[in-house]
């Protein structure tokens, strides 16, 4: 009942590699991971690939299938045309270890740097009381299976190795949001911390992360935007700012953001040179080189997304609370013109048609 299908799978390691062609039997109802397993049992016993649950629950089997970041165990073969060649490549944002396995330790380092839950000191175990409505907001983020697909698509680090030290990525923004919204967490500076230490300011709300999340977590709308808004509230509220000037004259201002901003080479303002707004796909020399070495990454620029609007459907007018005059730049305030040529994006008008 099976049919033979054409697969192109990237084989290699950090020293390079290329797409190799395989003809594999594919049966009705199979997913891409089944096909990879069949290859391992037949033509390619040493084909490296991570997986665990085969049910979309562990987030191990992340890879790029026809250029789209996906879980291999949740990508049905029936979503492809019968004569379509299926290309499978490793996650692009992380260094390759071998074949489809990448070194995702970046994410574990960022996890370690994100401040942990701070329990209330005076509530003994067993006495925690929380309402379902209050825990649900954080629970949405705790659905995260740590597949790191969102980290992989985020343009801030996808082609910008240099941003990695200062940017924790969407997975950890929602971790910060989760703790911020946790009814009993006692730390009160989660947003400011995210802004100052995790690089929240780099995010310009392209929503690519939300689009790829297999758990359908509304990373941007429910996590990042509320964090940004409230960070903005506290950070730029002229009254607070004034207050700290007046009442703490001669001392370092108290809000941690302000101080970190003054202190930090790690803050976006000094390193943001390479970041650009809206779309992710800059053609950097490394990507070109990869393309020449035969890797077809199916490079596509994510679609520009409209900025967030308020309940009235208008762009939020934050002049009063903003730290500079006039409305923010539609390109993001972190962009200076002209952009360096290697950071220009070109979305071919017909990129969707092939």
Partner 1 sequence: MTTTTRIERHHYDVVVIGAGGAGLRAAIEARLAGKKTAIISKSLFGKAHTVMAEGGAAAAMGNVNPRDNWQVHFRDTMRGGKFLNNFRMAELHAKESPQRIWELETYGALFDRTKTGKISQRNFGGHEYPRLAHVGDRTGLELIRTLQQKIVSLQQEDKREFGSYDARIRVFAETTVTELLLDGDRVAGAFGYYRESGEFVLFEAPAVVLATGGVGRSYKVTSNSWEYTGDGHALALRAGANLINMEFLQFHPTGMVWPPSVKGILVTESVRGDGGVLRNSEGKRFMFDYVPDVFRKQYAETEEEADRWYTDPDNNRRPPELLPRDEVARAINSEVKAGRGTPAGGVFLDIASRKSADEIRRRLPSMYHQFKELADVDITKEPMEVGPTCHYVMGGVEVEPDSGAAVGHVRGLFAAGEVSGGMHGSNRLGGNSLSDLLVFGKRAGGHAASYADSLPERPKVAVQAVEAAVETALAPLQRDTGESPYTLQQDLQAVMGDLVGIIRREGELADALVRLAELRERVAKVSAAGGRRYNPGWHLALDLRNMLVVSECTAKAALERRESRGGHTREDHPAMDPRWRQVNLVCSLEGDAVQLARKPLPKMRPELIALFDRAELAKYLTDEELAEFDALAEEAGN
Beta bridge partners of 62: 71
Q: Which of 110, 133, 129 is nearest to 120 (CA)?
A: 129
Residues 12-71 touching ligand FES, rule: CB under 6 A, are: 51-54, 56-61, 71
Nearer to ligand FES, 17 or 59 (CB): 59
Residues 6 or more apart whose Cβ sits within 8 Å of residue 207: 219, 220, 221, 305
Q: How far is the CB of 114 from ligand FES (least distance, A)?
A: 22
316 CB-near residues (< 8 Å, 6+ apart): 308, 309, 310
Q: For 235, left (φ over 0), alpha (ψ -120 to 50), or beta?
A: alpha
Tokens of 59: 């987030």
Q: Which residues bind partner 1 (CB under 8 A)?
A: 13, 27-31, 33-34, 40-41, 45-60, 73-74, 76, 78, 97-99, 101, 103-104, 108, 111-112, 114-117, 119, 125-126, 128-132, 135, 138-139, 142-146, 179, 182, 185
Instruction: For residue 256, state whether it binds ligand FES (rule: CB under 6 A).
Output: no
Q: How far is the CB of 304 from ligand SF4 (least distance, A)?
A: 11
CB of 350 to ligand SF4, least distance (A): 24
Rounded CA separation 66/69 (Å): 8
Is residue 90 involved in binding ligand SF4 (CB under 6 A)?
no
- Record the tokens describing residue 180, joined without a space: 């911020």
Question: In terms of CB distance, is 75 or 138 closer to ligand FES?
Answer: 75
Q: Does 218 bind ligand FES (CB under 6 A)?
A: no
Q: Which does 71 bind (CB under 5 to 8 A by kind): ligand FES, partner 1, ligand SF4, none?
A: ligand FES
Cα torsion 179, 181, 185, 187: sign: positive
Q: Rule CB under 6 A: which residues touch ligand SF4?
A: 59, 144-150, 153-154, 156, 170-171, 174, 203-209, 212-215, 217, 219-220, 224
């Amino acid at each position: 009942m099976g049919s033979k299908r054409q697969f192109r799978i990237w084989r290699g390691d950090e020293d390079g590699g290329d797409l190799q062609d395989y003809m594999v039997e594919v049966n009705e109802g199979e997913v891409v991971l089944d096909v990879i397993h069949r290859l391992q049992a037949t033509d390619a016993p040493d084909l490296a690939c991570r997986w665990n649950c085969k049910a979309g629950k562990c987030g191990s089997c992340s890879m790029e299938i026809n250029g789209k970041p996906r879980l291999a165990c949740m990508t049905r073969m029936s979503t492809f045309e019968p004569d379509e060649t299926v290309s499978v490549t490793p996650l692009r944002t992380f260094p390759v270890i071998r074949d489809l396995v990448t070194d995702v330790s970046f994410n574990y380092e960022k996890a370690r740097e994100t401040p942990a839950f701070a329990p209330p000191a005076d509530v003994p175990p067993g006495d925690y009381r929380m309402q379902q409505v209050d825990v649900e907001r954080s629970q949405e983020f705790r659905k995260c299976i740590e597949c790191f697909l969102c980290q992989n698509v985020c343009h801030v680090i996808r082609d910008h190795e240099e941003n990695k030290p200062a940017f924790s990525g969407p997975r950890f923004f929602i971790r910060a949001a989760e703790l911020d919204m946790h009814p009993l967490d006692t730390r009160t500076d989660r947003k400011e911390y995210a802004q100052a230490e995790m690089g929240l300011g780099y995010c310009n709300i392209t929503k690519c992360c939300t689009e790829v999340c297999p758990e359908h977590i509304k990373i941007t709308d429910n996590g990042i935007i509320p964090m940004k808004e409230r960070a903005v509230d506290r950070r730029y509220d002229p009254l607070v700012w004034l207050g700290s000037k007046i009442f703490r004259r001669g001392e370092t201002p108290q809000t941690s953001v302000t101080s970190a901003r003054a202190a930090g080479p790690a803050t976006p303002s000094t390193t943001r040179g390479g970041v650009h707004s809206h779309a992710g796909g800059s053609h950097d020399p490394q990507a070109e080189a990869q393309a020449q070495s035969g890797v077809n990454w199916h490079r596509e620029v994510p679609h520009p997304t409209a900025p967030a609007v308020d309940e009235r459907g208008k762009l939020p007018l934050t002049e009063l609370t903003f730290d500079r005059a006039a409305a923010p730049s539609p390109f993001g305030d972190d962009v200076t013109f002209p952009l360096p040529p290697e950071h220009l994006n070109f979305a071919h008008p017909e990129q969707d048609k092939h």
